[in-house]
Structure 1
Amino acid sequence: MIFKVSFASIQKSFSASVNFCRYPLIFALILLTSSCRFAVSPTLLAKDGVLDGSHLDFSKETVNLIGKWEFYWNDFINPNEVSPPNVSFLPVGVPWFSQVNEDGEDYPSFGYASYRLKIILPETGQSDDPYALLVPVLHSAYKIYANGKLVAENGKIGTSNDAHKPSFHTKIIPLLDVQKQVDLVIHISNFSHKYAGIHGIIRFGKLQNIMQVWNVYHSTSWIIMVFMGLLSVYHALVYLMNRAEKNALKMSFVYLGILILTSTLTETRVLFNLYSDDFCMPLFRFSRIGFILVLYFGGNLLFSLSQLRIFRKMQIFLKLYSLTFLLVALFTPNNHLALVSFYFEFLSVVFVLLGLISVSISLYFQRKESKLYFFSLLLAVIGGVIDVILITNPSIGYRPMGLFSLYFFIFPQTLGVTFGLVRVYKRSESISKELYKRKEALEKKVKARTAELEKANRWKANFVSLISHDLRSPLNSVNQILDVIDFSFSETSEEEKKKFLEICKTGVTQSIKMLEQLLDVSRFDAFGTKLMQTKFSVNELLNEIIESVEPLATLKGIRIQKETPIDGEIIADRTLIGEVFKNILTNSIKYSYLNSEVWVGVTYKGKWLSVEIRDRGLGMSEEQIHKLTGEENIKSTPGTAGERGTGLGLQLCMNILEAHFGKLRIKSVLGVGSSFEISLSKSTKSVLLVDDSGNFRSDLAEVMRRNQWIVIEAGNGEEALSHLARITPSLIITDLHMPGMNGISLIHEWEGRRNQNQKIPIILISSDAPLSGGNAFLEEEGLESIVSAYLSKMYKAEDLCQQIEMILV
């Protein structure tokens, strides 16, 4: 047992740790899988314009031409001559504008210069595959000479802006007839870009290896571009599917911007290589649009996380800044575009820092997805810092990550949006299932309601027939007596006349009383309309019913024999139960032979009070009993004296007994007679259940009735008081919160009205009540001496009933 508890504790702690660290783990995985981007070649630095590669095996590897090259400012040197005397040495891989000359002055961005590097090659014996150069964009026009021969030209170099024509193509340059060394001379001019000179890193090696490297770069760029396009479309579709996902729309534009940047700024320069140099500057402007898209929509996404007013204002400022940047990118002249764009790009770092602050604040306030955004943005910033270090120190040997640091930010957002979409889908699926279940439940309710309506319609038709039946019987008796008097009026003695008139008066009086009772019965229908339950004596009710049907029995010479050894009392609707007794007793007289006997008895049988009515008459077959107790319409059988009836009274009796959880058993033998046993609960445990929630009230009432409780239901305090005026229940259960008169008002009103002897236990229930310890509330309301308990409605009906019975023990 201890082992199980310990294991469960360890498992829970481990799960909590993984849950807490899930975002760092995800990003660590992304960082690990992206490590291939940190492609490193042998760290071989050129010294004073010479790179010694004699010991390298170029058949297996390539080398980055980094280190210090010879550098000649504002001079296109002759590639066939020895080095001029004005030589200086400058690191490559970084633009010349960030370097200083011998006088300690920075080189300007715009100008022209020559680079020179001597590469010492290994001795012969390696593969015959020629050497080659993989040349990235050298800002921004150049000519390359190898051993004095022109091997490549990109754009048009010139000593002035008018003669200069930029080009951003990347090239693979085969070097033929190269054996022991390569003397590289590169003439570069720049009048169109902030970053000038050999800003990228040139790779040198065998042509086959250079092609493999290029294919990897080129394939990777296209894969990323396609992937970015698909992600942009994916997020747009997510937004179209769920317009509430506005972040998905923003991410769609961010991915579109990254697609533009990937196609224009990565080493392969895909779009620049697809078009001629005439499209160089338009494509450069197009790349700025990609930057603006990422800046605006990415910043909008970050600023909205904190939900603070100051960052809403920042969004307005970001919109103005992005719009201004867009106008600059589209309309600034070519000779000023690079410089102006550079400053706009540099100032954009401010928005990145503000975005990090916004995400940090959202993380502090535990906003939705704040951890995801914080760790992803932090990694993107770290990636950018690493890139700055690698760019400024190319001698480290690692290539910058470039846009991959931005991927660290956007990929987790895709995960977040996808998880959100999955949650929406699951929620939609759950709602759909719930709607389907409710639809099925509604269909079942409609069917049940339709059946109940049909049953109610049948009952109403039955009730009309029943009124005719029940009123006709006593009035027929009166009519027959009057016929007798009229036929032999002169021969009838005064005493007999008086007796007949009393019988007639009694019959009419009983008919009037019967009409009143039938009108009371009319409130009962197939839906189980509320019962007006009271505590009454069954014997007294039977005496009244026997007295009302006695004229009918007298006409047929039938004697009603009553045996009631007990004085049974029950809680029920007296009028409706009386209707049951009268209908069965009337039918017994109707189908009894002339001058026979009807027996009525009252006994206790276990938990039930049994009222049995037996007659000696026509009797019924099993098939007749089955039809009589069913719901199908049947044809009435005439009585022993030719009496007509509806044949529907028994069905009404069964409905009334069902509403009282009572039973009716019929035994009959054809030609001998029938026995009707009516079983009613003798329980005097009665509860007045007051609650405005019909579902809760019916559920609890059903459970309590199964536990032998007589349940009287009320929907509010006023209705409960009307019940209390007629009956004193064993228990009152009332809801606290009800429209009109609430539970506390009902309790105080009852305490003011009740007699001193009417001390009824009261239980207060509420959905607000604690599952335990409700006495504090009763003390606050001053009800601790009146209310027995304050219970929660959150319990199941069975458990709540059990608690109630435990309190009353």
Structure 2
Amino acid sequence: MIFRVFFSSIQKSFCNTVKFCRYPLICLLVLGGTISCRFDAYPTLLADQGVLDGHSVNFRRDTIPLIGQWEFYWNEFLDPKQVSPTNKSYLKVGVPWFSQANEEGEGYPSYGYATYRLKVRLPKRTNQSQPYSLFVPVLHSAYKMYANGQLVAENGKLGINVATHEPSFHTKILPLTSVNGDLDLVIHISNFSHKYAGIHGLIRLGHLDRIIPLWNVNYTVSWMIMLFLGFLSIYHALVYFINRSEKNALRMSYVYLGILILSSTLIESRILFNLFPDTFCMPLFRFSRIGIVIVLYFGASILLSLAQMRVFKKVISFLKLYCLTFLMVSVLTPVRHLAEIVFYFETLSAFFILVSLVSVSLALYLQRKDSQLYFYSLVLAVFGGIIDLLLISNPNFGYRPMGLVSLYLFILPQTLGVTFGLVRVYKRSESISKELYKRKEALEKKVKARTMELEKANRWKANFVSLISHDLRSPLNSVNQILDVIDFSFSETSEEEKKKFLGICKSGVSQSLRMLEQLLDVSRFDAFGTKLIQTKFSVNELLNEIIESIEPLATLKGIRIQKDTPIEAEIIADRTLIGEVFKNILTNSIKYSYLNSEVWVGVSFKGKWLSVEIRDRGLGMSEEQIHKLNGDENIKSTPGTAGERGTGLGLQLCMNILEAHFGKLRINSVLGVGSSFEISLSKSTKSVLLVDDSGNFRSELAEVMRRNQWIVIEAGNGEEALSHLARITPSLIITDLHMPGMNGISLIHEWEGRRNQNQKIPIILISSDAPLTGGETFLEEEGLETIVSAYLSKMYKAEDLCQQIELILE
């Protein structure tokens, strides 16, 4: 048994740990998978001053990137057969020439033309050796390539100005069949159409049988990524059409579409550029920037709306204008200015990424839905982007940039999140169906129980009326007989006797009036419980009023009322009915106390309860009498110490009133010594006005909230709710959307028009039409997003709904 408990404890701790760390684990798995796919280690062989020594490379097994320092000739197309040029300088490849400086410290502009030259020393070939070949990525943005003085490739059209230059973004495999010894590689490049100019990618050298599989892998992986992104875009769109409240799923569908465009135009294989001739080069370049706009707008919209704060809604409006301008620039700007202007827009987009990170961080702090998942995935995406910048600016690290992988780090966890959310929705739908069936059964049982309660209440009221009729008849008959006597012999009756008879009549009428007051109070109880009119009041002031009203009764018996109320206590309850409880118990204490004795009244706090205790020195009660009082059995009233009579229903009335307030009455008594009555009332000032025309739903939710220490004030429609709000300011208003007469929205607007500026009460709107998630859209459509805290579904169980309400208020 001990081992089982110990194992269960370990299992529970492990599950809690995994649940807490689930989002970091998912993101780390994605990061590990992408690293294994994209981070290919290269040999650390580097060119130095235009020479790369590859004698020791085993080309049967390896391919090498031609990285390091190449000879560089700015604004010159060098003769490929020229042996030793005089004006040489050196430049790193793998980064654009505009980010580097010449020997005089001056930077190169993006637009211009130049020559790169590299001498590669190769191992001696044998007759069985495969021919060498080059895998050439996009060289921005037009080039001619010479190997040992012979032209081996031409891409686009070289030019020394915009008019003669035509760009091309094709990738190529170039067999070098004529190269037997060392390789003298000369590349003429011109660029008047792209910000990143020169040898920005890395050229790979190797045997043809090693280069072709490398190309095939890259090409195949690129197509698989594109197909996968297309599938995910359709998948998220379907998720949205299945559950229209999942607006983020639709946004993620567009994000995937944008990344699909980027993947087809920007990753190494350049699939779209390779499928079309060079005449489509600039239209495809514009098309790739449209992909950036789509990813920026819809991705940032998801993140900025996560914190649910007004300031980020303004940022989204600015983002919409910015992306529209970016789109127009990408489509309409002339070619000669396109790359430079678009580059500035791409740089400024970092602002929205930083603001999105702030939004997600605040959402995480405020514990918004899915904030952990978005936070970790965005941090990893930013981390991947920073690594990309480092690798691009330092190609000698020997690793390729991750490229779009940093975006994959962001989007793939979102797909998992949406999928898990969809699974949760279906599970919840199944759970709700089962719950509805259970509720149907429970409702049938409740109807039977309520029917029995109604019959019981009717019997109790019938007995009560019977008793009241009996007790009212006796004093009124006595009064009637005395009045007959006075009327018959009025002139013969002395003044002293007249006063005596009038006193008896007044006493009988007063007793009858007290009984009638009790009858009127009891009439406020019906088969569905007590109709409470709750307000916030001081218990001490109410006790003072009650004691003052019954002081004459105590004085007649020489009884002193001793009050001990050292604390100031305020509660929310029906003041009239609680006053009836105090009055009834104090009157009973005086009634059954010995002459010239004392009744003690004390007020104190006991934990979550306010305790009002009343003690007397009188007849007391037996255990059997106390048991009958706590039961449903009707009891006959016993005369007081001065012969006072009653109905026997006073304490039962008090218990019913306290039960309606979820209070308690404890009785301790000793025969011949006296009794102690302790009234316990909730001291909570958490009050909620619950407005719903469905009595069953309202009573069920009210009962759960009362168990959670809420003071619940119930109303069946908007008009009744406003009458309550005129008397009391609750801590929270929960209102149904659809109600006869004044519905929930009309109630909210009416209350907003009536309330004072300092009466800001949180409002929660509920409805059976509300979606299980994503009710913010409805509030925005109705213009209630700044007034209503949440829009929740009534399909939740009362316990779950109460838990959600308390989380919102925190």
* CA contact 1:152–1:173 (8 Å) conserved in 2: yes
- Say if 2:185 is the partner of 1:187: no
- 1:302 corresponds to which residue? 303
- Say if 2:328 is the partner of 1:327: yes
Provide, for residues 233-262 of structure 1, a one-character-per-residue CA deviation record: whole Å limited to 9, x for no partner: 111111111110000010000000000000
Aligned positions of 1:759-798 closer than 5 A: 759=648, 762=652, 774=664, 779=678
The residue identity in structure 1 corresponding to 2:362 is I
- 1:512 corresponds to which residue? none
Partner SS state of residue 244, structure 2: coil
- Say if 2:32 is the partner of 1:5: no
Provide, for residues 434-466 of structure 1, a one-character-per-residue CA deviation record: whole Å limited to 9, x for no partner: 55x479x69xxxxxxxxxxxxxxxxxxxxxxxx
Provide, for residues 664-723 of structure 1, a one-character-per-residue CA deviation record: whole Å limited to 9, x for no partner: xxxxxxxxxxxxxxxxxxxxxxxxxxxxx995474499xxxxxxxxxx743797874234
* CA contact 1:735–1:765 (8 Å) conserved in 2: no
- 1:584 corresponds to which residue? none
Provide, for residues 138-165 of structure 1, a one-character-per-residue CA deviation record: whole Å limited to 9, x for no partner: 0000000000000000000111111100
Report the more deviating stretch, 327-336 or 14-23: 14-23
The whole-number CA distance in structure 2 between the counterparts of 1:3 and 1:21 is 27
The whole-number CA distance in structure 1 between the counterparts of 2:525 and 2:59 is 90
- 2:28 corresponds to which residue? 28
The whole-number CA distance in structure 1 between the counterparts of 2:109 and 2:289 is 23
* CA contact 1:716–1:742 (8 Å) conserved in 2: no
The whole-number CA distance in structure 2 between the counterparts of 1:138 and 1:112 is 12
The residue identity in structure 2 corresponding to 1:79 is P
The whole-number CA distance in structure 1 between the counterparts of 2:350 and 2:636 is 84
Identity of aligned residues (%): 56
- 1:416 corresponds to which residue? 417
The whole-number CA distance in structure 1 between the counterparts of 2:422 and 2:304 is 22
* CA contact 1:718–1:741 (8 Å) conserved in 2: no
The residue identity in structure 2 corresponding to 1:301 is I
- Tell me by how many angstroms 1:178 deviates: 1.3
Partner SS state of residue 110, structure 2: coil
- 2:637 corresponds to which residue? 756
- 2:173 corresponds to which residue? 172
| Inter-CA distance 52–775: structure 2 relative to 1 (3 Å threshold) | farther
* CA contact 1:734–1:765 (8 Å) conserved in 2: no
- 1:392 corresponds to which residue? 393
The whole-number CA distance in structure 2 between the counterparts of 1:378 and 1:65 is 33
Partner SS state of residue 163, structure 1: coil
- Say if 2:454 is the partner of 1:714: yes
The whole-number CA distance in structure 1 between the counterparts of 2:523 and 2:209 is 90
Aligned positions of 1:584-599 closer than 5 A: none
| Inter-CA distance 150–342: structure 2 relative to 1 (3 Å threshold) | same
The residue identity in structure 1 corresponding to 2:162 is N
Partner SS state of residue 183, structure 2: strand
- Tell me by how many angstroms 1:21 deviates: 1.2
- 1:135 corresponds to which residue? 136
- 2:215 corresponds to which residue? 214
- Tell me by how many angstroms 1:10 deviates: 2.5
- Say if 2:134 is the partner of 1:253: no
Unaligned runs of 5+ in 1: 443-692, 702-711, 784-791, 797-809
- 2:226 corresponds to which residue? 225
Provide, for residues 490-540 of structure 1, a one-character-per-residue CA deviation record: whole Å limited to 9, x for no partner: xxxxxxxxxxxxxxxxxxxxxxxxxxxxxxxxxxxxxxxxxxxxxxxxxxx
The whole-number CA distance in structure 2 between the counterparts of 1:391 and 1:250 is 30
Partner SS state of residue 57, structure 1: coil
| Inter-CA distance 438–5: structure 2 relative to 1 (3 Å threshold) | closer
The residue identity in structure 2 corresponding to 1:280 is C
The residue identity in structure 2 corresponding to 1:412 is P
| Inter-CA distance 715–109: structure 2 relative to 1 (3 Å threshold) | farther
The residue identity in structure 2 corresponding to 1:283 is L
- 1:449 corresponds to which residue? none
| Inter-CA distance 737–153: structure 2 relative to 1 (3 Å threshold) | farther
* CA contact 2:304–2:356 (8 Å) conserved in 1: yes
**TM-score when scaled to structure 2?**
0.60
The whole-number CA distance in structure 2 between the counterparts of 1:282 and 1:408 is 29
Q: Report the aligned-residue RMSD.
A: 3.6
The residue identity in structure 2 corresponding to 1:352 is I
* CA contact 2:140–2:199 (8 Å) conserved in 1: yes
- 1:85 corresponds to which residue? 86
Aligned positions of 1:663-702 closer than 5 A: 695-696=445-446, 698-699=448-449
The whole-number CA distance in structure 2 between the counterparts of 1:326 and 1:292 is 7
The whole-number CA distance in structure 2 between the counterparts of 1:252 and 1:281 is 26
The residue identity in structure 1 corresponding to 2:320 is K
The whole-number CA distance in structure 2 between the counterparts of 1:299 and 1:364 is 19
The residue identity in structure 2 corresponding to 1:190 is N
The whole-number CA distance in structure 1 between the counterparts of 2:40 and 2:230 is 25
Residue 724 of structure 1, aligned match among 461, 464, 471: 464
Larger Rg: 1
* CA contact 1:59–1:126 (8 Å) conserved in 2: no
- 1:110 corresponds to which residue? 111
* CA contact 2:663–2:679 (8 Å) conserved in 1: no
| Inter-CA distance 193–773: structure 2 relative to 1 (3 Å threshold) | same
- Say if 2:80 is the partner of 1:199: no
- Tell me by how many angstroms 1:290 deviates: 0.3
Partner SS state of residue 306, structure 1: coil
* CA contact 2:30–2:412 (8 Å) conserved in 1: no
| Inter-CA distance 762–755: structure 2 relative to 1 (3 Å threshold) | closer
The whole-number CA distance in structure 1 between the counterparts of 2:122 and 2:44 is 16
The residue identity in structure 1 corresponding to 2:161 is S
The residue identity in structure 2 corresponding to 1:172 is I
- 2:148 corresponds to which residue? 147
The residue identity in structure 2 corresponding to 1:725 is V
The whole-number CA distance in structure 2 between the counterparts of 1:58 and 1:11 is 54
The whole-number CA distance in structure 1 between the counterparts of 2:421 and 2:142 is 48
* CA contact 1:716–1:739 (8 Å) conserved in 2: no
| Inter-CA distance 42–724: structure 2 relative to 1 (3 Å threshold) | same
The residue identity in structure 1 corresponding to 2:637 is Q
Unaligned runs of 5+ in 2: 469-521, 533-573, 585-628, 639-646, 668-676, 683-698, 704-810
The residue identity in structure 2 corresponding to 1:209 is R
Provide, for residues 350-389 of structure 1, a one-character-per-residue CA deviation record: whole Å limited to 9, x for no partner: 1001101000000000000000000000000000000000
| Inter-CA distance 754–270: structure 2 relative to 1 (3 Å threshold) | same
* CA contact 1:694–1:715 (8 Å) conserved in 2: no
Partner SS state of residue 186, structure 1: strand
| Inter-CA distance 278–694: structure 2 relative to 1 (3 Å threshold) | closer
The residue identity in structure 2 corresponding to 1:386 is I
| Inter-CA distance 114–724: structure 2 relative to 1 (3 Å threshold) | same
- Tell me by how many angstroms 1:775 deviates: 5.7
* CA contact 2:655–2:665 (8 Å) conserved in 1: no
Partner SS state of residue 200, structure 1: coil
* CA contact 2:391–2:397 (8 Å) conserved in 1: yes
- 1:59 corresponds to which residue? 60
| Inter-CA distance 770–405: structure 2 relative to 1 (3 Å threshold) | farther
- 1:14 corresponds to which residue? 14
* CA contact 1:139–1:198 (8 Å) conserved in 2: yes
- Tell me by how many angstroms 1:97 deviates: 0.1
Aligned positions of 1:423-502 closer than 5 A: 423-434=424-435, 437=437
The whole-number CA distance in structure 1 between the counterparts of 2:83 and 2:655 is 104
* CA contact 1:372–1:416 (8 Å) conserved in 2: yes
- Tell me by how many angstroms 1:123 deviates: 2.1
The residue identity in structure 2 corresponding to 1:86 is N
The residue identity in structure 2 corresponding to 1:143 is K
- Say if 2:3 is the partner of 1:263: no
The whole-number CA distance in structure 1 between the counterparts of 2:52 and 2:660 is 83
The residue identity in structure 1 corresponding to 2:218 is Y
**TM-score when scaled to structure 1?**
0.60
The residue identity in structure 2 corresponding to 1:383 is G
- 1:650 corresponds to which residue? none
| Inter-CA distance 716–108: structure 2 relative to 1 (3 Å threshold) | farther
- 1:563 corresponds to which residue? none
The whole-number CA distance in structure 2 between the counterparts of 1:238 and 1:43 is 47
